[in-house]
A and B are shown apart, each in its own frame.
Chain A
């Protein structure tokens, strides 16, 4: 079964540092997403991406965040200057336009110290 692959599985970073979280969506999917889940809390939408541009973003997705599809397979989330409150599990997802159902990756646990 096709999978969404995320790397790394765990990243520890110093406050104020930049991090890049990487994702390889399912190859024939056209919509890409980032969600985050603070420990023990609900999954929250960050951003959706289609046709090489952001289609929607939440209030969480401020100027410190950016997304990019640098080539035909990768989809990245960059956090420019990490804060302690950015510590969370970040999930990438992708979907086929014909179906609302997402496929999520296994996530990257980001710990900001």
Chain B
């Protein structure tokens, strides 16, 4: 119930393409879904986050799509760039706790 399942494990995309990473959860109490970007040797950095009262949130080239009924959410990176090459983690949290449950991560490589 506390798991967040993330796929794919790794992803290779051509420069300019769309990168899509998916996550699924079971616990309907989750009410905050952030995405984190991690470069080698660095801590995760908050990229974008969504709450279940909206179905989509866009910030620049990054969009979260949220499907409450399916208990799924995804990250879309439009016009992917080599500088986007990193590991991406989805996560979930719920009111009353500030801990995150992280997905297993997706290693994205964008080819120049």
Are A and B co-members of a single complex? yes
Q: With A and B bound together, what is the CA distance between A45 and B97 in angstroms?
A: 12
Main secondary structure of the interface of A (DSSP, over half): strand
A86-111 CB mask vs B (1 if < 8 Å, else 0) is: 00000101010000111111110000
CB contacts between A and B, total, < 8 Å = 56
The answer to whether A42 touches B105, judged by C-beta atoms less than 8 angstroms apart, is: yes
Q: With A and B bound together, what is the CA distance between A45 and B94 in angstroms?
A: 14
A interface residues, how many (CB within 8 angstroms) = 24
Within 8 Å by CB of B98, from A41, A95, A103, lies A95
Chain B interface: which size bin? Answer: 20 to 34
The answer to whether A31 touches B44, judged by C-beta atoms less than 8 angstroms apart, is: no
The answer to whether A106 touches B42, judged by C-beta atoms less than 8 angstroms apart, is: yes
Q: With A and B bound together, what is the CA distance between A41 and B44 in angstroms?
A: 13
Of residues 76 through 105 on chain B, the ones whose CB sits less than 8 Å from some CB of chain A are: 89, 93, 97-105
Known contacts A100-B49, A100-B93, A45 near B43 by CB under 8 Å: no
- The chain A residues found within 8 Å of chain B, CB to CB, are 4, 31, 33, 35, 41-45, 48, 55-56, 58, 91, 93, 95, 100-107
